[in-house]
Structure 1
């Protein structure tokens, strides 16, 4: 079994959810998260422009000009049998890939064990 963790744009959750459901993977966990990649967020707007414009509140100018601020994202977690990993990963990529920075990241981790609390089923039976 594998756990697939995907960090995606906020506005892509419903499209991703629908695509995964169509592929036969309707069950997953989604969490609101904040993060950033290695590229500065706002290279194109110099901070001096905010200092010169008195119409912008200081809090807004600071949050916009901060190069290392955290951006809102969504974290999806889905556990699947090994044979389904490529289908899930490819579905997530297909829906979320815009070829622009910030499209997200996908991590695939091994899962040692799973237990369904309601029935006590273990292993793959607990996740299918």
Structure 2
């Protein structure tokens, strides 16, 4: 991949968001206020909050979100090694929920089978 691929995607997404914000300014203001309220308050710092956001972005498979949060992490002073640790946790959580729901499926089977017997 070229070095500008993601930078171009970020730029294009910002352009799309400017158009959306112009179309629905009150919704954009509300989202902006929510974002500011979350980012500017609480015991976690900006970098930690961006790590959470990135992990969720990976699990939710939101590529524009991933791009924005990686960029924000770089600005917040995160290291590549820290990024790798967060990505490893996102990978684990991508598999973990499947394991948990598989347990529910088995329990459902066992309960229904016991009632049918």
TM-score bin, normalised by smaller chain: under 0.3
Q: With structure 1 as the length reference, what TM-score do the two structures score? A: 0.21
Give the number of the structure with larger relative contact order, counting CA–CA contacts within 8 Å between residues 6 or more apart. 1
Q: With structure 2 as the length reference, what TM-score do the two structures score? A: 0.22
Normalized per residue, the structure richer in helix is: 2
